[in-house]
Structure 1
């Protein structure tokens, strides 16, 4: 009969440590809190102290380190530097055992939790979750972790949904909150609402004024950088996108459009621009305004205008001077560029294009300025009449009632009937569809008319403001007056110039 001798294992197949020679396990702990609140910080410090003593008291364990993350959410391991450093050290063989208070402290994302634990297990690193008494090398460990992680993930989902509901309830109630640390011009007031920071508000007004003066966001950004004005984030260098965001943010006129973005996934925290997927809320007069509504609307219309037609900030004359022969803009041309006779002239950009040459003369900059001063003198002589006409036009424009809301309500009603038809059928689809298209066209026309009305109101406001500030006829050319009151200048073949002012007044020089 064969003789069988049992050779006991000398290496633990999970820990890879010798079973005959006592070895100390290299042990680390992980501590995390997800907010910066004082009570959480106390818990955070307590975790560090507790696990340091807990590991050092065990003679079979060799203390490695306490890895920590403070004020970080556990729904993803992406931004948890302490956690990621611990895993990297464990995979490098520096750790044999990781101790954590609970599964939820380790991760609230089931996929992250299981993936990490399995990766550690492959490298013979065990995890111990004290609260649940789970050892990951135990045969039941992975099942228990799957269940506990799933529960933790659902808890995160529930918390996220509650937070989202609370935010949307605030939006529906018209409560406004700003990212004050990165928002120029406002700080959180005693009542919790935004209040104006005077010195920052001056920077905001400067940005709007320079844009109205004809500068692009890029040029304004360069000016602010050169002047040493700090950005909303406190940096030295301004970007055109930062200036543009200030120029297009309705909060500077005292209103607030809420829920411009929404969270797509509570695990990744990924946000998406709201293009109609969730409700938005527009709150009028929600807080003190830095910019008047008229100035804000004028800037928005100017943005649209610059997108539609060519625009350049290199010269205040660009896109302002029109050829009376062909309708093209005048542009700057350099004569004798490499000699002492170098001159900059302005002439029709299409003067020598096609079979017909434009006969309009070229102009020199001093000549343009001189003719404008003559035209403005005539315009200023009618100052009282112009102010009266502007005020009358403003009153009339403001009294015009918008039918936008009424049309939107009708459109919603027809849309609901169309949905009902799709679900239950009927015989009026063609009539309903025709009505929907008709209302859509009317709404588009009304929105265009309302935009034009706001632009004209802003023009009248700008002219009134400039005329009231100007006490006498200009003796020297003023760039800000040129930009504020002049719509365009048309040059004709006989050399005559017709100045069209923003209120519709035409003066021939």
Structure 2
């Protein structure tokens, strides 16, 4: 048998990759600045110029690209487009080496940093961190990199905490940054304060008035689009969500609510709605209002009323608590005097001839057993009777209507005086807060603990009372405004009623009760009622 011969060939790292020896290394650099301040802009420009010069003048290197994210946080790689583009080119083997200033420039998240370094290392692409003098191609352990990247993350966490603390301290003092971008109605004035943009303010007022006139969000959307009105972002297509946000934004009545949202985890960066996890700060009369305060409160009441119309279960939407509709004003106002359900508009076809009538929903869907005596009302007769009632109100019942409205206003004022003054509650809360601070510094005992619990319970009750009192005041203000509006309406000498109008019904009528086939009872805004024959 022939004896085997084994010859050892010594290792030669220089022969490891002949292709790399034959061509220049394709070197890329990654730069990042975290804010868009002017000073950091200069730093950004300096970094780009530095790496361009260094790579192009280094023997054996060729520039594979300068990747720079300007004004982007390093906590996460999700929004760093240039960083992700660089990683993708590495995956395609178009980059051989990456240079970066420091670990904190590469990533402030320890897991992200280690993950991407490992991925690049598996592709044979080292990263050189200049400040820390780390070359990942020569590292036998990730311990140093892990520790240093953890320090970078801790530094970022500290900065984030300090910035957040500074913002919240500003909130307490009423200082905040008004966001004009993509916000319709205001621009920054010469004095730095919000200034109304007249053309955009007209759109806001149109949206508010149309909503109170009974238009649905979809109808308002179609109106704005037909008028060619652009959104805050310049888009010609409106969304119902954008209109809803406008109607609910307190800034349009001149107030500001701060800390509506918060960032729970600075690494994830997810914004959450503040449902009481953090304190909020409300600034009243911060800037000029586009929508009057009374009108804004009316809008909030109307939003709540429409939401209450939506059934909890679609299968149970057969009765008077059906989904809100803005198509016909009477769908929300015409009520059966027999069972209390709303009426619905129905089209009958009799011998090929169509006739529109209004029928009790309860009788329509559950039959005569559910509502035996409710009549079917012809739409033209119903509209005519309502129109006659409004004319009668304008022409002959101003004094009676005025007396009823005056009584309603006196009731509102009486309630306001009877209610606990929010200022009194606030003073009591301040006193209890001082007592609580004093007790918390004392040594714990059963008596002290009991008193702390009593104070806490009383403070909770007072806060609830204050909230109820403020809500009652807002509602009374809305009622008073409605009463004044209807008084101005019925006293208008130029008013000429010639035909039925859904918009008019929305403004002046609260409810129409069907008493029988011969008559209806109409309740106007403010409480004044008229019984009107249908024929």
- Report the TM range for the smaller structure's normalisation: 0.7 to 0.9
Superposed displacement of residue 410, structure 1: 6.5
Per the TM alignment, residue 495 of structure 1 is displaced from its structure 2 partner at its CA by 1.4
Q: Tell me what 1:382 maps to.
A: 397
Give 1:180-329 correspondences, 5 Å limit. 180-309=180-309, 310=321, 311-329=324-342
| Aligned pair partner of 1:334 in 331, 347, 351 | 347
8 A contact 2:404–2:527 mirrored in 1: no
Partner of 1:403: 420
Alignment of 1:67-146 (within 5 A): 67-139=67-139, 142-146=142-146
In the alignment, structure 1 residue 483 sits paired with structure 2 residue 483: no
Q: Secondary structure at the match of 1:344?
A: strand
Q: Secondary structure at the match of 1:85?
A: helix
Q: Deviations over 1:228-269 (max 9, x none)?
A: 211222211111111111111111111111110011122222
Q: CA RMSD in A?
A: 3.5
Following superposition, the deviation at residue 494 of structure 1 comes to: 4.7
Q: Aligned-pair distance for 1:307? A: 2.5
Deviation of the 1:70 alpha carbon: 2.3
What is the CA distance between 1:188 and its match in structure 2?
1.6
Unaligned runs of 5+ in 1: none
* Alpha-carbon distance in structure 1 between the residues aligned to 2:216 and 2:484: 21
Equivalent pairs, count: 503
CA 1:101/1:445 → structure 2, altered by over 3 Å: closer, same or farther?
closer
Unaligned runs of 5+ in 2: 310-320
**Given that residues 129 and 135 in structure 2 are in contact (C-alpha distance below 8 angstroms), is that contact kept between their aligned partners in structure 1?**
yes
Cα 1:164–1:305 change in 2 (3 A) is: same
Q: In the TM superposition, what is the alpha-carbon distance from 1:83 to its structure 2 partner?
A: 0.7
Aligned twin of 1:346:
358
Q: Distance in 2 between matches of 1:444 and 1:70?
A: 45
**Displacement, 1:323?**
1.2
Residues 76-128 of structure 1: CA deviation (Å, up to 9, x unaligned): 11111111111122133222210112222211222211211122112211111
- Give 1:10's aligned residue: 12
> 1:443-485: CA deviations, max 9, x gaps?
6865664464344234324424534656335233333321111
Residue-by-residue CA offset, 1:39-78 (whole Å, 9 max, x unaligned): 4333323322322221122222233222222222211111
Kept in 2, the 8 Å contact 1:17–1:23? The answer is no
Question: Cα offset for 1:313?
Answer: 1.1
In structure 2, the partner of 1:355 is 369
Superimposed CA distance per residue, residues 327-381 of structure 1 (whole angstroms, 9 cap, x where no aligned partner): 11111111118x7511211122223525254334322333222212221122223
Q: Distance in 2 between matches of 1:244 and 1:302?
A: 12
Closer/same/farther in 2, CA of residues 407 and 291 from structure 1, 3 Å limit: same
